[in-house]
């Protein structure tokens, strides 16, 4: 089976990160094992269609999680592999707020800059 498309991967990751705990996972097999354990422990947490989709793409999902974490070490996937989903969300939220503050500062400086004719 081919690799997952970006949209499908991120949608699947967003749904599974609250069901399966990825904290500390370092290999694709470990991620696959955790997802399978979570699916079998809580079968009502996912619809039948999602469970079938996950089972079909599970090997690609584990590999893609590790690849994403290596490619973007400060991204959402890497933070979820390193920390719990709640802590990862807080870190990302703080980053977004800092970025917005920097944009406000830049806009303020630009507004007060004098134009020389």
pLDDT tens track for 26-42: 999 999 999 888 888 87
Q: How far is residue 9 from each of residues 20, 95, 100, 109, measured CA to CA in Å? A: 15, 23, 27, 40
Summarize pLDDT for 7-23 with one digit per residue, the tens.
888 988 988 888 888 99
Residue-level pLDDT at 56: 82
- Region label for 115, one of left (φ > 0), alpha (ψ between -120 and 50) or beta (otherwise): beta
What pLDDT, in 10s, does the model give residues 55-109?
A: 888 888 899 999 999 999 999 999 999 999 999 999 999 999 999 999 988 888 7
């Amino acid at each position: 089976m081919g690799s997952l498309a970006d949209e499908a991967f991120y949608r699947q990751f967003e749904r599974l990160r609250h069901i399966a705990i990825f904290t500390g996972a370092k290999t694709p097999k470990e991620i696959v094992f955790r997802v399978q354990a979570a699916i079998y422990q809580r079968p009502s947490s996912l619809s039948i269609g999602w469970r079938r989709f996950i089972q079909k793409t599970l090997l690609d999902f584990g590999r893609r999680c590790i690849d994403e974490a290596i490619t973007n070490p400060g991204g959402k996937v890497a933070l979820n592999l390193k920390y719990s989903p709640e802590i990862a969300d807080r870190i990302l939220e703080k980053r977004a707020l800092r970025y917005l503050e920097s944009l406000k500062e830049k806009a303020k400086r630009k507004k007060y800059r004098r134009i020389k004719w």
